Structure 1
Amino acid sequence: MSSTPLVFSIPPKAGNTSDARNTSHPQVIVLLPWLDAKASHLKYYTSKYASLYPSATQIVIQSDYKALIGGTAFNAERLAPAVEILTQLGVLSAAPPPILFHAMSGGGVAQVLHLAIAIRRQHLPNVPPSHKVPVAFVFDSGPSTYYGSDLRNAMTMTYPPGVQKAAVFMTAQLLWTDLCARAALGLAELPQDVVLPGVLNPTLFPWTERATPRLYVFSDTDAMSLVPGVRAHVQEARERGLNVSVEEFKGSRHVGHAFADPKRYWGAVQRVWDEAVIVKGQSKL
Protein backbone atom coordinates (compact mmCIF):
# COMPACT_ATOMS: atom_id res chain seq x y z
CA MET A 1 0.00 0.00 0.00
CA SER A 2 1.11 3.57 -0.65
CA SER A 3 2.88 5.49 2.09
CA THR A 4 3.90 9.15 2.24
CA PRO A 5 4.90 11.54 5.04
CA LEU A 6 1.21 12.48 5.30
CA VAL A 7 -0.41 9.08 4.80
CA PHE A 8 0.42 5.60 6.03
CA SER A 9 -1.43 2.44 7.01
CA ILE A 10 -1.17 -0.02 9.88
CA PRO A 11 -2.30 -3.59 9.15
CA PRO A 12 -4.42 -5.63 11.56
CA LYS A 13 -2.70 -7.31 14.48
CA ALA A 14 -1.05 -10.62 13.65
CA GLY A 15 -3.57 -13.43 13.54
CA ASN A 16 -6.49 -11.11 12.80
CA THR A 17 -7.90 -10.63 9.33
CA SER A 18 -10.43 -8.06 8.22
CA ASP A 19 -13.89 -9.41 7.49
CA ALA A 20 -16.30 -6.92 5.92
CA ARG A 21 -19.18 -9.17 6.99
CA ASN A 22 -18.41 -8.53 10.66
CA THR A 23 -20.16 -5.24 11.32
CA SER A 24 -19.77 -5.40 15.09
CA HIS A 25 -16.33 -3.84 14.65
CA PRO A 26 -14.99 -1.29 12.18
CA GLN A 27 -12.75 -2.98 9.64
CA VAL A 28 -11.16 0.30 8.54
CA ILE A 29 -10.23 3.09 10.95
CA VAL A 30 -9.16 6.44 9.52
CA LEU A 31 -7.23 8.43 12.12
CA LEU A 32 -6.74 12.11 11.30
CA PRO A 33 -4.62 13.70 14.07
CA TRP A 34 -3.85 17.28 14.94
CA LEU A 35 -1.33 19.52 13.19
CA ASP A 36 2.20 18.07 13.14
CA ALA A 37 1.33 15.30 15.61
CA LYS A 38 4.38 13.34 16.74
CA ALA A 39 4.66 9.60 16.15
CA SER A 40 5.08 8.99 19.89
CA HIS A 41 1.72 10.65 20.54
CA LEU A 42 -0.04 8.84 17.73
CA LYS A 43 1.13 5.47 19.01
CA TYR A 44 -1.20 5.80 22.00
CA TYR A 45 -4.24 6.01 19.72
CA THR A 46 -3.13 3.42 17.17
CA SER A 47 -2.22 0.96 19.94
CA LYS A 48 -5.57 1.48 21.63
CA TYR A 49 -7.45 0.89 18.41
CA ALA A 50 -5.38 -2.23 17.74
CA SER A 51 -6.52 -3.48 21.13
CA LEU A 52 -10.19 -2.51 20.73
CA TYR A 53 -10.58 -3.58 17.10
CA PRO A 54 -7.69 -5.93 16.24
CA SER A 55 -9.08 -6.91 12.83
CA ALA A 56 -9.17 -3.31 11.59
CA THR A 57 -6.69 -1.75 9.20
CA GLN A 58 -5.76 1.73 10.38
CA ILE A 59 -5.03 4.58 7.98
CA VAL A 60 -3.29 7.61 9.48
CA ILE A 61 -3.66 10.90 7.61
CA GLN A 62 -1.41 13.56 9.07
CA SER A 63 -1.97 17.31 8.80
CA ASP A 64 0.36 20.26 8.50
CA TYR A 65 -0.20 24.00 8.14
CA LYS A 66 -1.03 23.52 4.46
CA ALA A 67 -4.10 21.54 5.50
CA LEU A 68 -5.49 24.76 6.95
CA ILE A 69 -4.37 27.34 4.40
CA GLY A 70 -3.68 25.39 1.20
CA GLY A 71 -7.25 25.20 -0.09
CA THR A 72 -9.46 22.21 -0.78
CA ALA A 73 -8.27 21.42 -4.32
CA PHE A 74 -4.60 21.37 -3.32
CA ASN A 75 -5.19 19.31 -0.21
CA ALA A 76 -7.51 16.84 -1.92
CA GLU A 77 -4.78 16.17 -4.46
CA ARG A 78 -2.27 15.53 -1.66
CA LEU A 79 -4.53 12.82 -0.25
CA ALA A 80 -4.51 10.71 -3.42
CA PRO A 81 -2.37 8.07 -1.60
CA ALA A 82 -5.09 7.74 1.04
CA VAL A 83 -7.70 7.20 -1.66
CA GLU A 84 -5.46 4.53 -3.18
CA ILE A 85 -5.22 2.70 0.15
CA LEU A 86 -8.98 2.91 0.68
CA THR A 87 -9.51 1.54 -2.81
CA GLN A 88 -7.25 -1.42 -2.09
CA LEU A 89 -9.20 -2.11 1.11
CA GLY A 90 -12.49 -2.18 -0.79
CA VAL A 91 -13.85 0.93 0.88
CA LEU A 92 -14.80 2.42 -2.49
CA SER A 93 -16.39 -0.77 -3.81
CA ALA A 94 -20.07 -1.66 -4.02
CA ALA A 95 -19.71 -3.63 -0.77
CA PRO A 96 -17.43 -1.54 1.46
CA PRO A 97 -16.32 -2.64 4.92
CA PRO A 98 -17.48 -0.82 8.08
CA ILE A 99 -15.45 2.35 8.64
CA LEU A 100 -14.73 4.68 11.57
CA PHE A 101 -13.32 8.20 11.19
CA HIS A 102 -11.48 9.75 14.15
CA ALA A 103 -10.48 13.38 13.55
CA MET A 104 -8.57 15.49 16.05
CA SER A 105 -8.33 19.28 16.27
CA GLY A 106 -8.75 21.68 13.38
CA GLY A 107 -6.13 20.02 11.21
CA GLY A 108 -7.69 16.58 11.45
CA VAL A 109 -11.20 17.89 10.81
CA ALA A 110 -9.97 19.79 7.74
CA GLN A 111 -8.44 16.59 6.40
CA VAL A 112 -11.81 14.83 6.73
CA LEU A 113 -13.23 17.30 4.23
CA HIS A 114 -10.21 17.05 1.96
CA LEU A 115 -10.44 13.25 1.96
CA ALA A 116 -14.13 13.41 1.10
CA ILE A 117 -13.41 15.75 -1.82
CA ALA A 118 -10.56 13.52 -3.02
CA ILE A 119 -12.84 10.48 -2.99
CA ARG A 120 -15.65 12.26 -4.79
CA ARG A 121 -13.37 13.65 -7.48
CA GLN A 122 -11.72 10.34 -8.22
CA HIS A 123 -14.32 7.71 -7.50
CA LEU A 124 -17.85 8.92 -6.83
CA PRO A 125 -19.29 7.96 -10.24
CA ASN A 126 -18.18 4.36 -9.59
CA VAL A 127 -19.22 4.12 -5.94
CA PRO A 128 -22.92 3.44 -5.44
CA PRO A 129 -24.10 4.67 -2.04
CA SER A 130 -24.63 1.89 0.47
CA HIS A 131 -27.27 1.93 3.19
CA LYS A 132 -25.98 -1.19 4.93
CA VAL A 133 -22.50 -0.08 6.00
CA PRO A 134 -21.95 1.10 9.58
CA VAL A 135 -20.02 4.39 9.58
CA ALA A 136 -19.25 6.72 12.50
CA PHE A 137 -17.34 9.93 13.17
CA VAL A 138 -15.37 10.95 16.25
CA PHE A 139 -14.45 14.65 16.38
CA ASP A 140 -11.95 15.30 19.18
CA SER A 141 -11.17 18.91 20.19
CA GLY A 142 -12.89 20.55 17.28
CA PRO A 143 -13.91 22.00 15.03
CA SER A 144 -14.05 25.49 16.48
CA THR A 145 -13.59 28.76 14.57
CA TYR A 146 -10.49 28.40 12.32
CA TYR A 147 -9.48 32.02 12.85
CA GLY A 148 -5.91 33.31 12.70
CA SER A 149 -5.36 32.64 16.39
CA ASP A 150 -6.24 28.98 15.81
CA LEU A 151 -3.56 28.67 13.13
CA ARG A 152 -0.96 30.36 15.31
CA ASN A 153 -1.78 28.16 18.28
CA ALA A 154 -1.83 24.99 16.18
CA MET A 155 1.53 25.67 14.55
CA THR A 156 3.24 26.50 17.86
CA MET A 157 1.58 23.84 20.04
CA THR A 158 4.45 21.35 19.84
CA TYR A 159 7.21 23.91 20.54
CA PRO A 160 8.45 24.81 24.03
CA PRO A 161 8.63 28.51 24.95
CA GLY A 162 11.62 30.21 23.37
CA VAL A 163 13.03 31.77 20.24
CA GLN A 164 11.94 28.95 17.94
CA LYS A 165 8.34 29.10 19.15
CA ALA A 166 8.32 32.88 18.66
CA ALA A 167 9.67 32.49 15.12
CA VAL A 168 7.01 29.92 14.24
CA PHE A 169 4.36 32.20 15.75
CA MET A 170 5.44 35.06 13.49
CA THR A 171 5.52 32.76 10.47
CA ALA A 172 1.96 31.65 11.23
CA GLN A 173 0.86 35.26 11.51
CA LEU A 174 2.39 36.10 8.13
CA LEU A 175 0.77 33.05 6.52
CA TRP A 176 -2.63 33.99 7.90
CA THR A 177 -2.30 37.61 6.79
CA ASP A 178 -1.37 36.49 3.30
CA LEU A 179 -4.28 34.03 3.19
CA CYS A 180 -6.78 36.71 4.23
CA ALA A 181 -5.44 39.09 1.59
CA ARG A 182 -5.74 36.47 -1.14
CA ALA A 183 -9.21 35.47 0.06
CA ALA A 184 -10.35 39.09 -0.15
CA LEU A 185 -9.36 39.04 -3.82
CA GLY A 186 -11.14 35.74 -4.43
CA LEU A 187 -7.86 33.90 -4.87
CA ALA A 188 -8.01 31.67 -1.77
CA GLU A 189 -10.40 30.04 0.69
CA LEU A 190 -10.65 30.73 4.40
CA PRO A 191 -10.97 27.47 6.33
CA GLN A 192 -13.88 28.72 8.43
CA ASP A 193 -15.83 29.35 5.21
CA VAL A 194 -15.13 25.92 3.74
CA VAL A 195 -14.34 23.32 6.41
CA LEU A 196 -17.05 24.17 8.94
CA PRO A 197 -20.00 23.92 6.54
CA GLY A 198 -18.31 21.16 4.55
CA VAL A 199 -18.10 18.62 7.36
CA LEU A 200 -21.78 19.24 8.20
CA ASN A 201 -22.81 17.75 4.87
CA PRO A 202 -24.81 14.61 5.76
CA THR A 203 -23.64 12.92 2.54
CA LEU A 204 -20.02 13.97 3.04
CA PHE A 205 -18.91 10.48 1.99
CA PRO A 206 -20.76 8.08 -0.32
CA TRP A 207 -21.78 5.93 2.66
CA THR A 208 -22.90 8.65 5.12
CA GLU A 209 -26.32 10.18 5.77
CA ARG A 210 -28.09 12.25 8.44
CA ALA A 211 -28.39 9.22 10.71
CA THR A 212 -24.64 8.54 10.63
CA PRO A 213 -23.51 8.91 14.28
CA ARG A 214 -21.16 11.76 15.18
CA LEU A 215 -19.40 12.02 18.53
CA TYR A 216 -17.96 15.38 19.59
CA VAL A 217 -15.42 15.27 22.42
CA PHE A 218 -14.23 18.59 23.83
CA SER A 219 -13.38 20.45 27.02
CA ASP A 220 -14.46 23.63 28.75
CA THR A 221 -10.80 24.54 29.29
CA ASP A 222 -9.40 23.86 25.81
CA ALA A 223 -7.22 26.89 25.07
CA MET A 224 -7.03 26.18 21.33
CA SER A 225 -10.42 24.93 20.15
CA LEU A 226 -12.46 27.24 22.32
CA VAL A 227 -15.62 25.69 23.67
CA PRO A 228 -18.07 28.35 22.36
CA GLY A 229 -16.98 27.58 18.80
CA VAL A 230 -17.28 23.82 19.25
CA ARG A 231 -20.69 24.15 20.90
CA ALA A 232 -21.87 26.38 18.05
CA HIS A 233 -20.81 23.76 15.51
CA VAL A 234 -22.53 21.00 17.50
CA GLN A 235 -25.70 23.08 17.70
CA GLU A 236 -25.69 23.67 13.95
CA ALA A 237 -25.20 19.94 13.37
CA ARG A 238 -28.24 19.22 15.51
CA GLU A 239 -30.29 21.88 13.75
CA ARG A 240 -29.47 20.19 10.46
CA GLY A 241 -30.86 16.93 11.80
CA LEU A 242 -27.55 15.11 12.16
CA ASN A 243 -27.15 12.29 14.68
CA VAL A 244 -24.99 13.96 17.34
CA SER A 245 -23.69 12.87 20.74
CA VAL A 246 -21.39 14.86 23.02
CA GLU A 247 -18.77 14.14 25.67
CA GLU A 248 -17.81 17.44 27.30
CA PHE A 249 -14.86 17.09 29.67
CA LYS A 250 -14.02 19.45 32.50
CA GLY A 251 -10.48 20.73 32.86
CA SER A 252 -8.75 18.64 30.19
CA ARG A 253 -6.37 20.20 27.67
CA HIS A 254 -6.52 20.28 23.88
CA VAL A 255 -6.47 16.71 22.46
CA GLY A 256 -5.81 15.53 26.01
CA HIS A 257 -9.21 14.09 26.88
CA ALA A 258 -8.18 10.48 26.25
CA PHE A 259 -5.40 10.90 28.81
CA ALA A 260 -7.55 12.75 31.34
CA ASP A 261 -10.12 9.94 31.55
CA PRO A 262 -9.30 6.99 29.26
CA LYS A 263 -12.24 4.88 30.41
CA ARG A 264 -14.76 7.61 29.66
CA TYR A 265 -13.12 8.58 26.36
CA TRP A 266 -12.82 5.12 24.85
CA GLY A 267 -16.19 4.12 26.23
CA ALA A 268 -17.71 7.00 24.26
CA VAL A 269 -15.86 5.90 21.12
CA GLN A 270 -17.18 2.35 21.48
CA ARG A 271 -20.72 3.63 22.06
CA VAL A 272 -20.73 5.74 18.91
CA TRP A 273 -19.63 2.69 16.95
CA ASP A 274 -22.35 0.57 18.54
CA GLU A 275 -24.80 3.30 17.54
CA ALA A 276 -23.54 3.06 13.94
CA VAL A 277 -24.27 -0.67 13.93
CA ILE A 278 -27.78 -0.05 15.28
CA VAL A 279 -28.47 2.73 12.78
CA LYS A 280 -27.64 0.44 9.90
CA GLY A 281 -29.86 -2.30 11.27
CA GLN A 282 -27.03 -4.81 11.50
CA SER A 283 -26.90 -7.67 13.97
CA LYS A 284 -23.69 -7.97 15.97
CA LEU A 285 -21.74 -11.08 15.17
Structure 2
Amino acid sequence: MATTTPNLEFSRLSSAVSLYTPPSDANISASKADPTTIIICQWMGASPKSRGLNFIYHQHHSLFPNARIISIRSLPEFFIATSTASRLSAIKPTVSAIEADPATEPRILVHLFSNGGSLGFVDVCSLYKNASGRILPVKAVLLDSSPGQPTLQEGWAAMSLTLPKSLLWYPGAALVLFSLAITAIGKNVFGLETLVDKTRGWLNDWTFVDKSAKRLYIYSEADKLTGWKDVERHAEEARKDSVEVSLLKETETAHVQHAFKDSERYWQRVKELLESVGA
Protein backbone atom coordinates (compact mmCIF):
# COMPACT_ATOMS: atom_id res chain seq x y z
CA MET A 1 0.00 0.00 0.00
CA ALA A 2 1.35 3.45 -0.89
CA THR A 3 2.24 5.55 2.16
CA THR A 4 3.85 8.70 0.73
CA THR A 5 0.97 9.99 -1.39
CA PRO A 6 -0.38 13.25 0.08
CA ASN A 7 -3.96 13.29 1.26
CA LEU A 8 -6.66 14.73 -0.96
CA GLU A 9 -8.20 17.86 0.56
CA PHE A 10 -11.71 17.14 1.82
CA SER A 11 -14.21 19.70 3.10
CA ARG A 12 -15.98 18.62 6.27
CA LEU A 13 -19.76 18.81 5.84
CA SER A 14 -20.68 17.19 9.16
CA SER A 15 -19.23 14.86 11.78
CA ALA A 16 -19.78 11.97 9.38
CA VAL A 17 -19.59 13.45 5.85
CA SER A 18 -16.71 14.98 3.88
CA LEU A 19 -16.46 16.10 0.26
CA TYR A 20 -13.53 16.22 -2.14
CA THR A 21 -13.97 18.47 -5.17
CA PRO A 22 -11.38 18.23 -7.98
CA PRO A 23 -9.80 21.48 -9.18
CA SER A 24 -11.98 23.23 -11.73
CA ASP A 25 -8.97 23.87 -13.94
CA ALA A 26 -7.89 20.21 -14.05
CA ASN A 27 -9.26 19.85 -17.62
CA ILE A 28 -8.60 16.10 -17.78
CA SER A 29 -10.38 14.16 -20.51
CA ALA A 30 -12.76 11.50 -19.20
CA SER A 31 -14.71 8.60 -20.59
CA LYS A 32 -18.49 8.89 -20.75
CA ALA A 33 -18.57 5.83 -18.49
CA ASP A 34 -16.60 7.55 -15.71
CA PRO A 35 -18.50 8.47 -12.55
CA THR A 36 -18.97 12.15 -11.76
CA THR A 37 -19.59 11.48 -8.06
CA ILE A 38 -18.14 8.63 -6.02
CA ILE A 39 -19.76 7.87 -2.67
CA ILE A 40 -17.44 5.97 -0.33
CA CYS A 41 -19.23 4.41 2.64
CA GLN A 42 -16.54 3.56 5.17
CA TRP A 43 -16.23 0.47 7.34
CA MET A 44 -17.19 0.94 10.98
CA GLY A 45 -14.68 2.83 13.08
CA ALA A 46 -12.32 3.78 10.25
CA SER A 47 -10.10 6.68 11.27
CA PRO A 48 -10.28 9.84 9.13
CA LYS A 49 -6.47 9.58 8.96
CA SER A 50 -6.54 5.93 7.89
CA ARG A 51 -3.82 5.02 5.41
CA GLY A 52 -6.26 2.51 3.97
CA LEU A 53 -8.87 5.17 3.26
CA ASN A 54 -6.22 7.45 1.79
CA PHE A 55 -5.24 4.62 -0.55
CA ILE A 56 -8.87 4.09 -1.59
CA TYR A 57 -9.34 7.81 -2.26
CA HIS A 58 -6.22 8.00 -4.39
CA GLN A 59 -7.05 4.88 -6.37
CA HIS A 60 -10.41 6.37 -7.29
CA HIS A 61 -8.84 9.75 -8.02
CA SER A 62 -6.25 8.08 -10.24
CA LEU A 63 -8.92 6.19 -12.19
CA PHE A 64 -11.50 8.99 -12.26
CA PRO A 65 -9.69 12.33 -11.73
CA ASN A 66 -12.72 14.46 -12.59
CA ALA A 67 -15.00 12.81 -10.04
CA ARG A 68 -16.04 14.35 -6.76
CA ILE A 69 -15.71 12.05 -3.74
CA ILE A 70 -18.23 12.01 -0.90
CA SER A 71 -16.91 10.06 2.09
CA ILE A 72 -19.32 8.84 4.77
CA ARG A 73 -18.08 7.63 8.14
CA SER A 74 -19.59 4.69 10.02
CA LEU A 75 -19.32 5.41 13.72
CA PRO A 76 -19.44 2.50 16.22
CA GLU A 77 -22.17 4.24 18.18
CA PHE A 78 -24.45 3.98 15.15
CA PHE A 79 -24.79 0.28 16.02
CA ILE A 80 -24.91 0.65 19.81
CA ALA A 81 -26.40 3.81 21.24
CA THR A 82 -27.44 6.22 18.48
CA SER A 83 -31.08 6.70 17.52
CA THR A 84 -32.09 6.38 13.89
CA ALA A 85 -32.92 10.10 13.78
CA SER A 86 -29.47 11.08 15.10
CA ARG A 87 -27.72 8.72 12.70
CA LEU A 88 -29.60 10.08 9.71
CA SER A 89 -28.99 13.65 10.83
CA ALA A 90 -25.23 13.03 10.85
CA ILE A 91 -25.18 12.01 7.19
CA LYS A 92 -27.96 14.28 5.90
CA PRO A 93 -25.50 16.68 4.16
CA THR A 94 -24.81 13.85 1.71
CA VAL A 95 -28.08 14.62 -0.09
CA SER A 96 -27.22 18.24 -0.86
CA ALA A 97 -23.69 17.18 -1.84
CA ILE A 98 -25.12 14.70 -4.34
CA GLU A 99 -27.49 17.28 -5.78
CA ALA A 100 -24.62 19.77 -6.17
CA ASP A 101 -22.97 17.62 -8.84
CA PRO A 102 -22.36 20.12 -11.69
CA ALA A 103 -22.36 17.46 -14.40
CA THR A 104 -25.08 17.67 -17.05
CA GLU A 105 -25.63 13.93 -16.66
CA PRO A 106 -24.47 12.90 -13.16
CA ARG A 107 -23.15 9.37 -12.80
CA ILE A 108 -22.87 7.95 -9.28
CA LEU A 109 -20.59 5.12 -8.19
CA VAL A 110 -20.99 3.74 -4.66
CA HIS A 111 -18.12 1.93 -2.95
CA LEU A 112 -19.16 0.49 0.40
CA PHE A 113 -17.18 -1.47 2.95
CA SER A 114 -18.44 -4.00 5.49
CA ASN A 115 -21.78 -3.79 7.27
CA GLY A 116 -21.00 -0.27 8.45
CA GLY A 117 -20.69 0.91 4.87
CA SER A 118 -23.85 -0.94 3.88
CA LEU A 119 -25.78 0.90 6.58
CA GLY A 120 -24.36 4.21 5.37
CA PHE A 121 -25.47 3.47 1.82
CA VAL A 122 -29.05 2.50 2.63
CA ASP A 123 -29.33 5.51 4.96
CA VAL A 124 -28.30 7.80 2.09
CA CYS A 125 -30.83 6.11 -0.21
CA SER A 126 -33.55 6.60 2.41
CA LEU A 127 -32.67 10.27 2.97
CA TYR A 128 -32.57 10.96 -0.77
CA LYS A 129 -35.95 9.29 -1.35
CA ASN A 130 -37.55 11.25 1.50
CA ALA A 131 -36.07 14.54 0.30
CA SER A 132 -36.72 14.21 -3.43
CA GLY A 133 -39.41 11.58 -3.80
CA ARG A 134 -37.08 9.74 -6.19
CA ILE A 135 -34.78 6.74 -5.91
CA LEU A 136 -31.11 7.73 -5.78
CA PRO A 137 -29.85 7.07 -9.34
CA VAL A 138 -26.74 4.91 -9.03
CA LYS A 139 -24.81 3.43 -11.95
CA ALA A 140 -22.82 0.83 -10.00
CA VAL A 141 -22.26 -0.43 -6.46
CA LEU A 142 -19.09 -2.10 -5.16
CA LEU A 143 -19.83 -4.17 -2.06
CA ASP A 144 -16.55 -4.93 -0.29
CA SER A 145 -16.77 -7.50 2.54
CA SER A 146 -20.53 -7.09 2.80
CA PRO A 147 -23.21 -7.88 3.67
CA GLY A 148 -22.75 -10.41 6.42
CA GLN A 149 -24.92 -12.00 9.07
CA PRO A 150 -22.46 -12.02 11.97
CA THR A 151 -22.62 -14.42 14.87
CA LEU A 152 -22.13 -13.12 18.41
CA GLN A 153 -18.44 -13.95 18.15
CA GLU A 154 -18.08 -12.19 14.79
CA GLY A 155 -19.95 -9.18 16.15
CA TRP A 156 -17.53 -8.95 19.05
CA ALA A 157 -14.56 -9.33 16.71
CA ALA A 158 -15.80 -6.43 14.58
CA MET A 159 -16.74 -4.10 17.42
CA SER A 160 -13.59 -4.79 19.44
CA LEU A 161 -11.46 -3.46 16.59
CA THR A 162 -12.88 0.01 17.22
CA LEU A 163 -12.04 0.10 20.95
CA PRO A 164 -9.30 2.46 22.20
CA LYS A 165 -5.88 0.96 22.94
CA SER A 166 -5.79 2.29 26.51
CA LEU A 167 -7.43 1.82 29.90
CA LEU A 168 -10.63 3.01 28.24
CA TRP A 169 -10.66 -0.36 26.46
CA TYR A 170 -12.25 -2.00 29.52
CA PRO A 171 -15.38 0.17 29.91
CA GLY A 172 -15.69 0.25 26.12
CA ALA A 173 -15.52 -3.54 25.94
CA ALA A 174 -18.10 -3.85 28.71
CA LEU A 175 -20.50 -1.58 26.79
CA VAL A 176 -19.97 -3.53 23.57
CA LEU A 177 -20.51 -6.89 25.25
CA PHE A 178 -23.63 -5.64 27.01
CA SER A 179 -25.02 -4.32 23.72
CA LEU A 180 -24.23 -7.57 21.92
CA ALA A 181 -25.86 -9.59 24.69
CA ILE A 182 -29.05 -7.52 24.55
CA THR A 183 -29.09 -7.84 20.76
CA ALA A 184 -28.60 -11.61 20.94
CA ILE A 185 -31.43 -11.99 23.46
CA GLY A 186 -33.74 -9.87 21.34
CA LYS A 187 -32.95 -11.89 18.23
CA ASN A 188 -32.86 -15.41 19.65
CA VAL A 189 -35.59 -15.11 22.30
CA PHE A 190 -38.00 -12.58 20.83
CA GLY A 191 -37.21 -12.93 17.12
CA LEU A 192 -36.25 -9.27 16.72
CA GLU A 193 -34.13 -8.26 13.73
CA THR A 194 -30.79 -6.65 14.48
CA LEU A 195 -29.73 -3.46 12.71
CA VAL A 196 -27.29 -5.57 10.68
CA ASP A 197 -30.11 -7.92 9.66
CA LYS A 198 -32.28 -4.97 8.65
CA THR A 199 -29.45 -3.43 6.66
CA ARG A 200 -28.95 -6.66 4.76
CA GLY A 201 -32.61 -6.61 3.74
CA TRP A 202 -32.62 -2.89 2.92
CA LEU A 203 -29.82 -3.37 0.39
CA ASN A 204 -32.34 -5.30 -1.72
CA ASP A 205 -35.33 -3.07 -0.99
CA TRP A 206 -36.16 -1.63 -4.39
CA THR A 207 -38.58 0.93 -3.00
CA PHE A 208 -35.58 3.19 -2.29
CA VAL A 209 -32.47 1.36 -3.62
CA ASP A 210 -31.74 1.56 -7.36
CA LYS A 211 -32.42 -1.85 -8.86
CA SER A 212 -30.81 -0.88 -12.17
CA ALA A 213 -27.37 -0.33 -10.61
CA LYS A 214 -24.84 -3.01 -11.51
CA ARG A 215 -23.22 -4.72 -8.53
CA LEU A 216 -19.81 -6.19 -7.85
CA TYR A 217 -19.49 -8.18 -4.62
CA ILE A 218 -15.88 -8.52 -3.44
CA TYR A 219 -15.32 -10.95 -0.58
CA SER A 220 -13.04 -13.68 0.75
CA GLU A 221 -13.10 -17.16 2.20
CA ALA A 222 -10.52 -15.94 4.75
CA ASP A 223 -12.73 -13.12 6.07
CA LYS A 224 -13.39 -13.78 9.77
CA LEU A 225 -16.02 -11.05 10.11
CA THR A 226 -18.19 -11.50 7.00
CA GLY A 227 -18.93 -15.05 5.90
CA TRP A 228 -18.43 -15.68 2.19
CA LYS A 229 -21.59 -17.80 2.05
CA ASP A 230 -23.59 -14.87 3.46
CA VAL A 231 -22.28 -12.63 0.67
CA GLU A 232 -23.04 -15.15 -2.07
CA ARG A 233 -26.53 -15.74 -0.68
CA HIS A 234 -27.26 -12.01 -0.77
CA ALA A 235 -25.88 -11.69 -4.30
CA GLU A 236 -28.12 -14.53 -5.43
CA GLU A 237 -31.16 -12.87 -3.85
CA ALA A 238 -30.38 -9.69 -5.81
CA ARG A 239 -29.83 -11.67 -9.01
CA LYS A 240 -33.24 -13.32 -8.62
CA ASP A 241 -34.70 -9.80 -8.61
CA SER A 242 -33.03 -9.21 -12.01
CA VAL A 243 -30.12 -7.15 -10.66
CA GLU A 244 -26.97 -7.50 -12.77
CA VAL A 245 -24.48 -9.04 -10.35
CA SER A 246 -20.83 -10.10 -10.60
CA LEU A 247 -18.55 -11.63 -7.98
CA LEU A 248 -14.87 -11.36 -7.10
CA LYS A 249 -14.04 -14.08 -4.60
CA GLU A 250 -10.67 -14.08 -2.85
CA THR A 251 -9.27 -16.98 -0.84
CA GLU A 252 -6.64 -15.44 1.43
CA THR A 253 -7.42 -11.77 2.06
CA ALA A 254 -8.86 -10.58 5.38
CA HIS A 255 -11.83 -8.31 6.07
CA VAL A 256 -11.77 -5.08 3.98
CA GLN A 257 -8.21 -5.88 2.86
CA HIS A 258 -8.98 -7.03 -0.68
CA ALA A 259 -8.27 -3.63 -2.29
CA PHE A 260 -4.77 -3.66 -0.79
CA LYS A 261 -3.65 -7.29 -0.92
CA ASP A 262 -4.76 -8.07 -4.47
CA SER A 263 -4.76 -4.49 -5.67
CA GLU A 264 -4.17 -4.98 -9.38
CA ARG A 265 -7.00 -7.46 -9.87
CA TYR A 266 -9.33 -5.51 -7.57
CA TRP A 267 -9.02 -2.19 -9.37
CA GLN A 268 -9.07 -3.83 -12.78
CA ARG A 269 -12.49 -5.26 -11.91
CA VAL A 270 -13.61 -1.81 -10.78
CA LYS A 271 -12.61 -0.35 -14.16
CA GLU A 272 -14.32 -3.19 -16.01
CA LEU A 273 -17.52 -2.65 -14.05
CA LEU A 274 -17.64 1.05 -14.93
CA GLU A 275 -16.83 0.31 -18.57
CA SER A 276 -19.70 -2.17 -18.70
CA VAL A 277 -22.06 0.46 -17.32
CA GLY A 278 -21.08 2.81 -20.12
CA ALA A 279 -21.39 0.14 -22.80
Does TM, normalized by the shorter one, top 0.5? yes
Q: Hey, what does 2:79 align to over in structure 1?
A: 68
Partner of 2:69: helix, strand, or coil? Answer: strand
183, 186, 198: which one aligns with 2:202 = 198
Matched, 1:108 2:117: yes
**In structure 2, distance between residues paired with 1:184 and 1:250:** 31
Unaligned runs of 5+ in 1: 279-285
Shift of 1:174: 1.1
Question: Which stretch of the first structure deviates more once superposed, 189-198 or 63-72?
Answer: 63-72
Q: Does the C-alpha gap of structure 1 residues 231 and 141 become closer, same or farther in structure 2, counting only changes over 3 Å?
A: same
TM-score, normalization: structure 1? 0.81
> Aligned pair count?
265
Asked whether the 8 Å contact 1:155–1:168 carries over to 2, the reply is no
**In structure 2, distance between residues paired with 1:223 and 1:24:** 35
Shift of 1:172: 1.3
Q: Which amino acid aligns with 1:137?
A: V
Partner of 2:43: helix, strand, or coil? Answer: coil
Shift of 1:79: 1.5
65, 85, 88: which one aligns with 2:97 = 85
24, 27, 35: which one aligns with 1:26 = 35
61, 69, 72: which one aligns with 1:58 = 69
Q: Does the C-alpha gap of structure 1 residues 243 and 204 become closer, same or farther in structure 2, counting only changes over 3 Å?
A: farther
Q: Which amino acid aligns with 1:48?
A: Q
Partner of 1:218: helix, strand, or coil? Answer: strand
Shift of 1:241: 2.1
Q: Which amino acid aligns with 2:147?
A: P
Partner of 2:40: helix, strand, or coil? Answer: strand
Q: Deviations over 1:195-245 (max 9, x none)?
A: 11110124534xx23x42100000100011122222221222222221110
Identity %: 23
Q: Deviations over 1:88-139 (max 9, x none)?
A: 2269xxx650000000011001111111111111222xx4x69xx7610000
Shift of 1:36: 1.2
Instruction: Compute the RMSD of aligned alpha carbons.
Output: 3.1
Shift of 1:24: 1.9
**In structure 2, distance between residues paired with 1:273 and 1:252:** 24
Q: Does the C-alpha gap of structure 1 residues 75 and 134 become closer, same or farther in structure 2, counting only changes over 3 Å?
A: closer
Asked whether the 8 Å contact 2:14–2:90 carries over to 1, the reply is no
**In structure 1, distance between residues paired with 2:36 and 2:146:** 25
Asked whether the 8 Å contact 2:110–2:142 carries over to 1, the reply is yes
Q: Does the C-alpha gap of structure 1 residues 166 and 251 become closer, same or farther in structure 2, counting only changes over 3 Å?
A: farther
- 5 Å-filtered alignment, 1:91-240, equals 97-124=106-133, 127=134, 135-158=139-162, 165=169, 167-179=171-183, 190-202=194-206, 204-205=208-209, 208-209=210-211, 211-240=212-241
Q: Does the C-alpha gap of structure 1 residues 121 and 201 become closer, same or farther in structure 2, counting only changes over 3 Å?
A: same
Q: Does the C-alpha gap of structure 1 residues 3 and 200 become closer, same or farther in structure 2, counting only changes over 3 Å?
A: same
Partner of 1:61: helix, strand, or coil? Answer: strand
Question: Which stretch of the first structure deviates more once superposed, 219-228 or 140-149?
Answer: 140-149
Partner of 1:34: helix, strand, or coil? Answer: strand
Question: Which stretch of the first structure deviates more once superposed, 160-169 or 40-49?
Answer: 160-169
Partner of 1:29: helix, strand, or coil? Answer: strand
Asked whether the 8 Å contact 1:134–1:276 carries over to 2, the reply is no
Shift of 1:189: 5.8
Shift of 1:82: 1.2
**In structure 2, distance between residues paired with 1:67 and 1:18:** 39
**In structure 1, distance between residues paired with 2:74 and 2:65:** 25
Q: Deviations over 1:122-169 (max 9, x none)?
A: 222xx4x69xx7610000011110444443222222569886555533
Unaligned runs of 5+ in 2: 1-10
Partner of 1:32: helix, strand, or coil? Answer: strand
**In structure 1, distance between residues paired with 2:229 and 2:54:** 30
**In structure 2, distance between residues paired with 1:110 and 1:162:** 28
